[in-house]
Chains A and B, each alone.
Chain A
Amino acid sequence: METIQPYTPKEIMTIMAAREIKNGDIVFSGTGISMLAAMAAKNINAPESVIFFETGAIDSLLEELPFAVADPRIMYWAASNSRLTDSFATMQNKITGDKVIAILGAAQIDKYGNLNTTCIGDYFSPEIRFSGSGGGCDVASFVPRCIAFMQHEKRKFVKKLDYLTSPGQLEGKNSRKKAGLRPGGVSVVVTNMGVMRFDKDTGKMYLDKFYPGITPEKILENTEFNMDISTATRADPPTQTELKILREDCDPQRLILG
């Protein structure tokens, strides 16, 4: 029987992602829960982190939560409002790019952390078509660290992607290097059940942390591929301070937390 936790799945996911962000990081963010994680990090553990959008706005004030990366709310009081060619260059350029941590979502992920945001079914005649890469493929190609936010379900943690939109460790081992990519891609996966990382040598996903009330076995049941759970430990749940800041300072109207 599961015990009732004093926080919601969205809250623990947000805090787990926020803990990945270090002081001084440039956080490439989308909207929704990924931006909330960036805001939580800034308010809790990384006061000098900077939020950055692919549309070209950097360090926006965000007096109101934006609902899109082209929302006029990100243009107010930014350090600069530039353009797409600039924002991606900032990530492709190693001098700034190495400081970037990205937060991405996807419809499917495989054991090497490759992401599909394009379609379910055949590419040319899909059952479901999604929005496509946007800047996802660019970021996952350029920057050393990416957090993938996912709901932990078998149909999302798949043996084979229907389309490889954004590169993780490709086929594992040194295949990223062989393809010509820098080290990088998805380095951590945060779900509603736990936190996964990737083995340095094989590039394969392993379970690092499982949330209170969740077992490693339950995570395996919701994952189509095999995953090493032997070193997994229970995650430290969100602290009262973390939850207070998240609820009161980051999303007081619960626009994203629900």
Chain B
Amino acid sequence: MTNSLNKVIPLKQAIEQYVKNGSHISIGGFTINRNPMAAVYEIIRQKINNLHLYAHSNGTGLDELIGAGCVSKLEIAYGGNGKAAPTCIRFAQAIQNNEILFEDYSNYMMSLRFMAGAMGLPFLPTLSGLGTEILTKWGFSRSMRKSDPKIVDEKLIVIDNPFGNWTGASKVVLVPAINPDITIIHVQKADAMGTCSIQGLSFADIEQVKASKQVIVTCEKLVDKEELRQNPDLNQIPFIHVSAVCHVPLGAYPTAVFGHYDYDSRYLRKFAMAAKNPDEFKKYQDKYIYGVKDHKGFLNVVGQKRIDAIKADPRTGYAVNMKRD
């Protein structure tokens, strides 16, 4: 997080520099959209492990990271990946086989936790979850919480509305802030200083970035500062939050980037099929992740045919009439 004029570095270097074993991390996007996949695959290639992952509804990136054994602790609202995997397969297996520690929240709770982090607050209140087991079932034990200064002592706290019955609420749930060590997002446009312009839904990317100690931005287009400054209303993230900028075209593939390309439903289904079987999954990882040097190499294995098939139509922002399996 600097005000340097040029933060552009290669992705490999950015991951080496900012993502460490045991880092508390969050990634941008939502299920099959705008996951920072090039960064996820680079983390896997660098065999970074013991990550503590904060997720609302990260789909593809979440399942690849868990499948590769990079994650040991997970705070999550939703682990699904669209039609290809209504429940993320490696995520489900990791929980069923007791391979990771996990704790459940709702999407609003996770988004508010990032927002609290972004606002510098210890917590924010919500009316969500009262009476549910999201409040009562803790994935991290009290003793583990006490022994780890990076994990908050309580999961969620219910208090009486301190303003009496104001607005009709008798109780509120307090959700604790998240301040990740590192957040990685993929955007349509960024400049060398790190100012970002996101097109389409921003999910919780903005809150995640602003809550984070370090931020890596990967971008479809690395543009001149002048281009972004002409329309500041379209820029959601100013450079002051950003540590590194990496120019990675197709950096969210196989997930979608509105206005640029669609999700590759065929690839996502192939990933889901492989994820069900350990031998097949190893072959899949060897071919697409470990067997290539970088994202360019990965896209070469995927082939130009698939890249052409998902190209977005300029009018709608997605691939019109694309065959979706």
Interface residues of A (CB under 8 A from B): 31, 54-57, 63-64, 67-77, 81-85, 88, 92, 94, 118-119, 123-138, 141-142, 163-167, 170, 175-177, 179-182
Expressed in whole angstroms, the Cα–Cα distance for A63 and B115 within the complex equals 33
When the two chains form their complex, are residues B131 and A167 in contact, meaning their CB atoms are under 8 A apart?
Answer: yes
Q: 8 tightest CB-CB pairs across the interface, nearest first?
A: A180-B171, A134-B78, A179-B131, A68-B82, A88-B108, A131-B80, A70-B33, A70-B30
B272 contacts partner chain A, Cβ-Cβ < 8 Å? no
**From B29, B112, B158, B201, contact of A81 by CB (8 A):** B201
Interface residues of chain A: helix, strand, loop or mixed (majority): loop
Residues A56 and B203 in contact in the complex (CB < 8 Å), given A84-B107, A126-B95, A132-B104: yes
Give every chain B residue within 8 A of A175 (Cβ-Cβ). Answer: 131
Residues A92 and B126 in contact in the complex (CB < 8 Å), given A85-B112, A129-B92: yes
Give every chain B residue within 8 A of A166 (Cβ-Cβ). Answer: 132
Q: Whose C-beta in chain B lies nearest to the C-beta of A107?
A: B87
B120 contacts partner chain A, Cβ-Cβ < 8 Å? no
Give every chain A residue within 8 A of B214 (Cβ-Cβ). Answer: none
| A83 nearest CB across to chain B (Å) | 5
Residues A132 and B79 in contact in the complex (CB < 8 Å), given A81-B201, A137-B106: yes
When the two chains form their complex, are residues A131 and B134 in contact, meaning their CB atoms are under 8 A apart?
Answer: no
Give every chain A residue within 8 A of B126 (Cβ-Cβ). Answer: 92, 138
Q: Whose C-beta in chain B lies nearest to the C-beta of A255?
A: B324
When the two chains form their complex, are residues B262 and A72 in contact, meaning their CB atoms are under 8 A apart?
Answer: yes
Which of B57, B82, B107 has the largest number of chain A CB atoms within 10 A?
B107
Give every chain A residue within 8 A of B105 (Cβ-Cβ). Answer: 133
Chain B, residues 266-282, CB within 8 Å of chain A (1/0): the string is: 00000000000000000
| B80 nearest CB across to chain A (Å) | 4
**From B83, B115, B158, B201, contact of A67 by CB (8 A):** B83
**From B92, B139, B201, contact of A82 by CB (8 A):** B201
Give every chain A residue within 8 A of B128 (Cβ-Cβ). Answer: 88, 92, 137-138, 141-142
Expressed in whole angstroms, the Cα–Cα distance for A82 and B78 within the complex equals 19
B206 contacts partner chain A, Cβ-Cβ < 8 Å? yes
Chain B, residues 49-91, CB within 8 Å of chain A (1/0): the string is: 0000000110100000000000000001111111100111001
| 28 A-B pairs (CB sep. < 8 Å) | A63-B320, A68-B31, A68-B81, A70-B31, A77-B316, A83-B111, A84-B30, A84-B56, A84-B204, A88-B111, A119-B95, A129-B96, A130-B87, A133-B107, A134-B57, A135-B108, A137-B128, A138-B107, A138-B128, A141-B128, A164-B131, A165-B134, A170-B131, A175-B131, A180-B130, A180-B169, A180-B170, A181-B127
Expressed in whole angstroms, the Cα–Cα distance for A29 and B250 within the complex equals 29
| A122 nearest CB across to chain B (Å) | 10
Expressed in whole angstroms, the Cα–Cα distance for A127 and B324 within the complex equals 31
| A132 nearest CB across to chain B (Å) | 5
Expressed in whole angstroms, the Cα–Cα distance for A176 and B129 within the complex equals 11
Give every chain B residue within 8 A of A167 (Cβ-Cβ). Answer: 129-132
B258 contacts partner chain A, Cβ-Cβ < 8 Å? yes
Expressed in whole angstroms, the Cα–Cα distance for A123 and B134 within the complex equals 11
**From B76, B201, B206, contact of A70 by CB (8 A):** B201
B162 contacts partner chain A, Cβ-Cβ < 8 Å? no
Instruction: List CB contacts (< 8 Å) of B196-214 with chain A.
Output: 200-207
Expressed in whole angstroms, the Cα–Cα distance for A137 and B129 within the complex equals 6
| A197 nearest CB across to chain B (Å) | 20
B256 contacts partner chain A, Cβ-Cβ < 8 Å? yes
B168 contacts partner chain A, Cβ-Cβ < 8 Å? yes
When the two chains form their complex, are residues B318 and A123 in contact, meaning their CB atoms are under 8 A apart?
Answer: no
Give every chain A residue within 8 A of B258 (Cβ-Cβ). Answer: 72, 75
Not counting A132-B76, A134-B106, a sample of 20 additional A-B residue pairs whose C-beta atoms are within 8 angstroms of each other reads A63-B320, A64-B320, A70-B29, A70-B31, A75-B258, A75-B317, A77-B316, A81-B202, A82-B201, A83-B111, A84-B204, A85-B112, A123-B133, A129-B92, A131-B88, A133-B77, A164-B131, A167-B130, A177-B170, A179-B131
Give every chain B residue within 8 A of A179 (Cβ-Cβ). Answer: 130-131, 171
When the two chains form their complex, are residues A176 and B131 in contact, meaning their CB atoms are under 8 A apart?
Answer: yes
Instruction: List CB contacts (< 8 Å) of B227-267 with chain A.
Output: 256, 258, 262-263, 265
B98 contacts partner chain A, Cβ-Cβ < 8 Å? yes
Expressed in whole angstroms, the Cα–Cα distance for A68 and B57 within the complex equals 11
| B324 nearest CB across to chain A (Å) | 6
When the two chains form their complex, are residues B132 and A165 in contact, meaning their CB atoms are under 8 A apart?
Answer: yes
Give every chain A residue within 8 A of B76 (Cβ-Cβ). Answer: 132
B296 contacts partner chain A, Cβ-Cβ < 8 Å? no
Expressed in whole angstroms, the Cα–Cα distance for A83 and B56 within the complex equals 12
B32 contacts partner chain A, Cβ-Cβ < 8 Å? yes
Chain B, residues 152-166, CB within 8 Å of chain A (1/0): the string is: 000000100000000
Expressed in whole angstroms, the Cα–Cα distance for A129 and B104 within the complex equals 12
When the two chains form their complex, are residues B133 and A72 in contact, meaning their CB atoms are under 8 A apart?
Answer: no
| B290 nearest CB across to chain A (Å) | 27
**From B79, B265, B324, contact of A131 by CB (8 A):** B79
When the two chains form their complex, are residues A128 and B96 in contact, meaning their CB atoms are under 8 A apart?
Answer: yes
Q: Whose C-beta in chain A lies nearest to the C-beta of B131?
A: A179
Give every chain B residue within 8 A of A92 (Cβ-Cβ). Answer: 108, 126-128
When the two chains form their complex, are residues B206 and A83 in contact, meaning their CB atoms are under 8 A apart?
Answer: yes
